[in-house]
Amino acid sequence: MEMNFQSLFVAALITLLVGFIWYHPKVFGTVWMKEAGLTEEQLKTGNMLKIFGLTYLFSLFIASIEMTLTIHQIGAMGMVGGPAKVNEALPSFTAFMADYGTAFRTYKHGALHGLMSGLFFAFPMIGINGLFERKSWRYILIHSGYWIVTLTIMGAIICGWV
């Protein structure tokens, strides 16, 4: 199975790119600031290099997990004795990969699983936090929408870019 680790680094950039658009004042930025109780002056304070650097690092973590959610062959490797080294693979692994090594490795399939991880993982977590923090549904939906879109694009890149 071919793994394109460059896709992880590119997918991690998606959080920043989509965030730049999503939280722009002409899209959801103004509403988000109001719902979060933040002002433009508050947002200008802080170490932006640290914020963007850590965001990219955390996004690499997310991209790594998205890889396991979108590329089914990763799970199959463990089931059929996938290789620590290629020449140590069991015959069943070699046969499996010959038949199914590129199955479901499309942008569309990755986008589907990215969408599912956004809807069924990110949205509930943001919703739970928002409820306990007494945030509005607008706040919850803005953040959840961001992650649903972002994870959909990340999943497409990771799974489809072989």
Q: Mind listing the pLDDT tens digit for each residue in 83-109? A: 556 566 677 777 877 888 788 889 999
Mean pLDDT in the chain?
91
- Report the alpha-carbon distance of residue 63 to residue 112 in Å, rounded: 15
The predicted pLDDT at position 114 comes to 98
The predicted pLDDT at position 99 comes to 84
Local confidence band at 37 (pLDDT 50, 70, 90 cut-offs): very high
Length of the chain: 162
The per-residue DSSP string of 4-25 comes to -HHHHHHHHHHHHHHHHHHTSI
Local confidence band at 60 (pLDDT 50, 70, 90 cut-offs): very high
Between 135 and 90, residue with greater pLDDT: 135
The predicted pLDDT at position 2 comes to 62
pLDDT greater than 80 at residue 75: no
- Report the alpha-carbon distance of residue 21 to residue 82 in Å, rounded: 41
Local confidence band at 145 (pLDDT 50, 70, 90 cut-offs): very high
The predicted pLDDT at position 144 comes to 98
What separation, in Å, do the N-terminal and C-terminal C-alpha atoms of the chain show?
A: 9
The predicted pLDDT at position 6 comes to 95
Provide the CB-side half-sphere exposure for 64 (13 A, CA).
6
- Report the alpha-carbon distance of residue 97 to residue 145 in Å, rounded: 36
The predicted pLDDT at position 160 comes to 93
Are 11 and 158 within 8 A, CB to CB? yes
Are 127 and 106 within 8 A, CB to CB? no
Mean pLDDT of 128-135: 98
Mean pLDDT of 19-27: 97
In the chain, which ranges are E strands? none
Comparing CA positions, the residue from 18, 4, 5 lying closest to residue 55 is 18
Local confidence band at 147 (pLDDT 50, 70, 90 cut-offs): very high
Are 109 and 70 within 8 A, CB to CB? yes
- Report the alpha-carbon distance of residue 103 to residue 110 in Å, rounded: 12
